[in-house]
């Protein structure tokens, strides 16, 4: 038994091995046909599944008839079974599809045209295939009658006027179809028109486009929007009508009633027309309503008259503008003139100019004390009263810091509310006609009781120039404005003391002399008791006592020489030079002091412009660093003459030219008698008439603005 079972198992295994060794067989789908205009489709139906298709028009398991082209196309199916490859083939026949040979534009037709083959009206005129084969065409759409057996017709009367589509579908003998293809037909009916109502135009109106007439029969031709349109092809005719632009010119037509004709002829029946009238009349202007304005209003443009385009005239009118101030108060009649063709017509209206308030009195800045009682703002303000011409009631309102009250209870200004300083209050005046002026400013300076401060003590040299005292302040802010418009301090105070001019606040060390001088600064502004403070100015002696200091020209150099009578604790002299003292000095040398009375000198070897004056001073420095300045001396070296006279000799006019401004000119004869004297007003060039003087030698003596005197000889000859 066991032996039989083992034999069965061995036979079964042999069968299975034999079965697996048999090669798989492929089977292809049946042959088929397709149309050339079909969309690509998936290939299927071969077995076993999982193989690949190849051949004309095949890609990725898809078959494209258009890519394959017409005719029988052999398609191969390949299957891989382990290491074995098997194939089969089948045929796909691609039949041609119909193609339209000609496509026309929109076809016009009349609604009363007789029926005809649709090809006569449609845009599709014929079909063909490659290779050629019989084709049948079916038609559908508005106006199509018949069938493929009896034939097709298109009847415009059935479709009616308008824009229509008919459709052609072509079928080959193999059943391949193309379409439907649209044929566009524009059908016109016999024209029927309507005109607008009669109208009126001004004689002076510009030419305008005629509109409103319509072709009531719908046209099939499309507009820009793609929709069918009406009123196409009509024309306007009549007097002064431009048919090309459909415009009417009233001035060319003239006054009267003019008949305009609108005509439509679209070729689909007799022309249709209608008429309407345009009456041309001379315009009658209408003026704007009367109005009133205030005299102080700005100029404004006159408007509101119709028709527009005329001219305004009357009091205060210029260039279409009305100026109330120019017109003056009262009722002013304004005329509007309109030219309509050859006709002139006018209308009038009234502008009443009401008076505006005017200030009668304007004072300057008002000064008050902070502790003054409240009072009417007119009492404190610069605005005292208002008036109008002609006279009428005026109400005044006040605003600003320190103002209380209202128009019913009255207004007050209280200095204590605003405090010290510079303040402005404002008055606005209103007349019974509502004309306002303002706000006008009233400037009030509110001062408080003075409080002062003085500068610290200072030391100056007894030889220093006089100078203005500064630094003392009135610590109570005054309302008086500065040039910047802000409140300032130190108003109304004055200085007093030895060497002080109280009127100019100038201290002169030479007047005060050596020593310590007490200066008092006092402020009294009337808003409380005066306040004062003091400070000291010490005038120190010079480090040395200078006996003389002079400058003399030495060829092209300047020699400075000076003498001292006393030197105590003295260190040195510093020599300073300037071409213009107002622009300052520069140090050019140094000479040590010798401790006793001595004579000194210093030669300026620097380049000096011939004829140009130079200025020198000594800075005298003590051992402790204190110093003082000497007086300023002046000199000029020869070269180009400081004063030139020509011609020389002279017979008529003598020119006197200087490098600096001359203030005095004298012509002196050899006896010392001045024969000509002039006092020029800051002139560098002057003319002397010597034509009547005796011949001989004369001296020209000049004095410049710096006090320098120059002399030149001149000969008078004939």
The CATH number of residue 505's host domain is 2.60.40
Q: What is the CATH number of the domain that holds 660?
A: 2.60.40.1930
pLDDT (tens digit per residue) in 463-498: 667 888 888 887 775 544 444 444 444 456 789 999
Predicted local confidence at residue 63, as pLDDT:
96
- Do 312 and 382 lie in one domain? The reply is no
Residue 326 phi/psi, 5° resolution?
-70, -35
The CA-to-CA distance between both ends of the chain, in Å, stands at 185
Q: Which of 540, 573, 597 is the last residue of a domain?
A: 540
- Do 613 and 581 lie in one domain? The reply is yes
Q: Which of 405, 421, 447 is the last residue of a domain?
A: 447
Domain annotation covers residue 531: yes
Domain annotation covers residue 27: no
Q: Which two tokens stand for residue 151?
A: 């034939």
Domain count, the chain: 8
Predicted local confidence at residue 228, as pLDDT:
55
Predicted local confidence at residue 72, as pLDDT:
93
Which H helix or E strand runs over 677? strand 674-678
pLDDT (tens digit per residue) in 46-102: 999 989 999 999 999 999 999 999 999 999 999 998 889 999 999 999 999 988 766
Domain annotation covers residue 401: yes
- Do 554 and 631 lie in one domain? The reply is yes
- Do 582 and 614 lie in one domain? The reply is yes
Q: Which of 605, 635, 665 is the last residue of a domain?
A: 635
Q: What is the CATH number of the domain that holds 551?
A: 2.60.40.10
CA angle 411, 414, 420 (to 5 degrees): 145
How many Å separate Cα 96 from the centre of its chain? 73
Q: How confident is the model at residue 18 (pLDDT cuts 50, 70, 90)?
A: very low
Q: Which of the residue ranges 198-212, 601-615, 665-679 would you say has the lowest mean pLDDT?
A: 601-615
Residue 391: CB atoms within 10 Å: 9
pLDDT (tens digit per residue) in 599-642: 899 998 876 767 677 888 888 888 887 777 777 888 776 654 56
- Do 388 and 458 lie in one domain? The reply is no
Predicted local confidence at residue 487, as pLDDT:
46
- Do 330 and 386 lie in one domain? The reply is no
Most confident of 145-154, 287-296, 362-371, 528-537: 287-296
Residue 709 phi/psi, 5° resolution?
-110, 135
Domain annotation covers residue 25: no
Q: How confident is the model at residue 387 (pLDDT cuts 50, 70, 90)?
A: confident
Q: Which of the residue ranges 4-13, 464-473, 708-717 would you say has the lowest mean pLDDT?
A: 4-13
Predicted local confidence at residue 93, as pLDDT:
95
Q: Percentage of residues in the chain with pLDDT exceeding 90?
A: 27
List alpha helices for 322-442, DSSP H. 324-327, 377-380, 415-418
pLDDT (tens digit per residue) in 211-259: 888 877 766 555 555 555 555 568 999 999 999 898 999 888 888 899 9
Q: Which of the residue ranges 104-113, 227-236, 572-581 would you say has the lowest mean pLDDT?
A: 227-236
d(CA 306, CA 340): 12
pLDDT for 39 beyond 50: yes
Predicted local confidence at residue 483, as pLDDT:
41
- Do 479 and 498 lie in one domain? The reply is yes
Average pLDDT value for the chain: 83
What is the secondary structure of 504-541 as a DSSP string?
TTEE-HHHH-SEEEEEEEEE--SSSS-EEEEEEEEEEP
pLDDT for 15 beyond 50: no
pLDDT (tens digit per residue) in 270-326: 888 999 999 988 778 899 999 999 999 999 999 999 888 899 999 999 999 999 999
Q: Which of the residue ranges 191-200, 256-265, 485-494, 641-650 would you say has the lowest mean pLDDT?
A: 485-494
- Do 431 and 457 lie in one domain? The reply is no
- Do 473 and 404 lie in one domain? The reply is no
Q: What is the DSSP letter of 148?
A: T
The length of the chain, given as a count of residues = 718
Contact 445, 527 (CB under 8 A): no
Predicted local confidence at residue 205, as pLDDT:
78
pLDDT (tens digit per residue) in 320-373: 999 999 999 999 999 999 887 667 889 999 999 999 988 766 555 677 888 888
Q: Which of the residue ranges 7-21, 528-542, 600-614 would you say has the lowest mean pLDDT?
A: 7-21
pLDDT (tens digit per residue) in 408-438: 888 988 888 888 777 888 888 899 899 998 8
d(CA 645, CA 637): 18
- Do 178 and 148 lie in one domain? The reply is yes
pLDDT for 27 beyond 60: yes
Domain annotation covers residue 9: no
Domain annotation covers residue 364: yes
Q: Which two tokens stand for residue 602?
A: 């210093």
Q: Which two tokens stand for residue 654?
A: 């003598």
- Do 555 and 592 lie in one domain? The reply is yes
pLDDT (tens digit per residue) in 436-458: 988 888 878 787 778 888 988 88
CA angle 672, 674, 676 (to 5 degrees): 150
- Mean pLDDT computed over 399-403: 88
Global pTM reads 0.38
Unique residue bearing structure tokens 């008429």? 275
Domain annotation covers residue 181: yes
Predicted local confidence at residue 202, as pLDDT:
78
pLDDT for 156 beyond 60: yes
Write 679-687 long-range contacts (CB < 8 A, 24+): 684/657, 684/658, 684/659, 684/660, 685/655, 685/656, 685/657, 685/658, 686/655, 686/656, 686/657, 686/662, 687/653, 687/654, 687/655, 687/656
Most confident of 187-196, 255-264, 545-554, 640-649: 255-264
Q: What is the DSSP letter of 215?
A: E
- Do 496 and 517 lie in one domain? The reply is yes
Domain annotation covers residue 13: no
Q: Which domain holds residue 403?
A: 358-447
Q: Which of 615, 661, 663 is nearest to 642 (CA)?
A: 661
Predicted local confidence at residue 375, as pLDDT:
83
Predicted local confidence at residue 102, as pLDDT:
66
- Mean pLDDT computed over 112-126: 80
């Amino acid at each position: 038994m066991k032996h039989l079972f083992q034999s069965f198992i061995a036979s079964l295994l042999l069968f299975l091995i034999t079965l697996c060794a048999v090669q798989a067989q492929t089977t292809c789908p049946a042959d088929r046909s397709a149309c050339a205009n079909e969309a690509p489709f998936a290939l299927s139906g071969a077995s076993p599944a999982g193989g690949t298709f190849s051949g004309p028009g095949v890609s990725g398991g898809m078959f494209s008839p258009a890519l394959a082209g017409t005719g029988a196309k052999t398609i191969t199916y390949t299957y891989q079974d382990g290491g074995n490859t098997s194939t089969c083939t089948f045929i796909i026949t691609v039949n041609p599809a119909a193609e339209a040979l000609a496509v026309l534009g929109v076809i016009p037709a009349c609604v009363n045209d007789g029926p005809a083959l649709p090809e006569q009206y449609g845009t599709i005129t014929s079909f063909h295939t490659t290779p050629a084969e019989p084709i049948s065409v079916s038609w559908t759409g508005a106006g199509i009658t018949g069938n493929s057996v009896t034939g097709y017709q298109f009847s415009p009367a059935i479709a009616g006027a308008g824009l229509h589509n008919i459709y052609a579908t072509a079928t080959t003998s193999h059943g391949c179809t193309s379409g439907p293809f649209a044929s566009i037909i524009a059908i016109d009916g016999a024209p029927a028109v309507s005109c607008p109502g009669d109208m009126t135009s001004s004689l002076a109106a510009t030419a305008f486009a005629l509109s409103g007439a319509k072709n009531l029969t719908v046209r099939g031709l499309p507009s820009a929007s793609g929709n069918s349109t009406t009123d196409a092809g009509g024309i306007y005719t009549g007097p002064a009508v431009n048919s090309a632009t459909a415009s009417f010119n009233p001035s060319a037509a003239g006054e009267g009633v003019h008949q305009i004709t609108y005509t439509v002829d679209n070729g689909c029946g007799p022309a249709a027309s209608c008429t309407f009238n345009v009456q041309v009349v001379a315009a009658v202007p209408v003026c704007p309503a009367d109005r009133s304005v205030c005299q102080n209003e700005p100029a404004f443009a006159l408007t509101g008259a119709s028709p527009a385009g005329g001219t305004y005239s009357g009091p205060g009118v210029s260039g279409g503008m009305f100026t109330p101030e120019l017109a003056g108060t009262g009722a002013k009649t304004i005329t509007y003139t309109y030219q309509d063709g050859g006709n002139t017509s006018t209308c009038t209206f009234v502008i009443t100019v009401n008076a505006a308030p005017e200030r009668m009195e304007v004072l300057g800045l008002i000064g008050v004390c902070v502790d003054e009682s409240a009072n009417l703002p007119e009492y404190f303000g610069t605005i005292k009263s208002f008036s109008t011409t002609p006279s009428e009631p005026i109400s005044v309102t006040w605003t600003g810091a320190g103002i209380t009250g209202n128009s019913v209870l009255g207004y007050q200004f209280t200095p204590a509310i605003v405090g010290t300083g510079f303040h402005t209050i404002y008055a606005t005046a209103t007349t019974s006609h509502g004309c306002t002026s303002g706000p006008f400013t009233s400037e009030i300076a509110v001062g408080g009781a003075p409080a002062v401060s003085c500068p610290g003590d200072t030391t100056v040299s007894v030889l220093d120039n006089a100078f203005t005292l500064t630094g003392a302040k009135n610590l109570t802010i005054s309302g008086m404005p500065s040039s910047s418009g802000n409140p300032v301090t130190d108003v109304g105070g004055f200085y007093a003391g030895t060497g002080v001019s109280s009127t100019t606040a100038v201290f002169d060390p030479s007047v005060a002399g050596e020593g310590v001088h007490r200066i008092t600064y006092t402020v009294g502004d009337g808003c409380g008791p005066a306040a004062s403070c003091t400070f000291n100015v010490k005038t120190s002696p010079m480090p040395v006592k200078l006996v003389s200091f002079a400058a003399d020209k030495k060829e092209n150099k300047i020699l400075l020489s000076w003498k001292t009578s006393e030197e105590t604790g003295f260190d040195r002299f510093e020599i300073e030079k300037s071409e213009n003292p107002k622009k300052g000095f520069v140090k050019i040398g140094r000479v040590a002091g010798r401790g006793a009375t001595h004579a000194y000198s210093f030669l300026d070897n620097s380049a000096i412009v011939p004829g140009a004056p130079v200025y020198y001073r000594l800075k005298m420095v003590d051992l402790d660093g204190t110093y003082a300045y000497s007086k300023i001396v002046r000199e000029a070296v020869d070269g180009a003459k400081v004063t030139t006279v020509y011609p020389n000799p002279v017979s008529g006019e003598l020119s006197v030219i200087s490098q600096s401004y001359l203030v005095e000119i004298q012509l002196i004869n050899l006896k010392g008698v001045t024969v000509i004297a002039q006092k020029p007003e800051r002139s560098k060039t002057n003319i002397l008439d010597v034509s009547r003087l005796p011949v001989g030698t004369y001296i020209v003596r000049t004095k410049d603005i710096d006090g320098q005197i120059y002399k030149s000889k001149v000969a008078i000859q004939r």
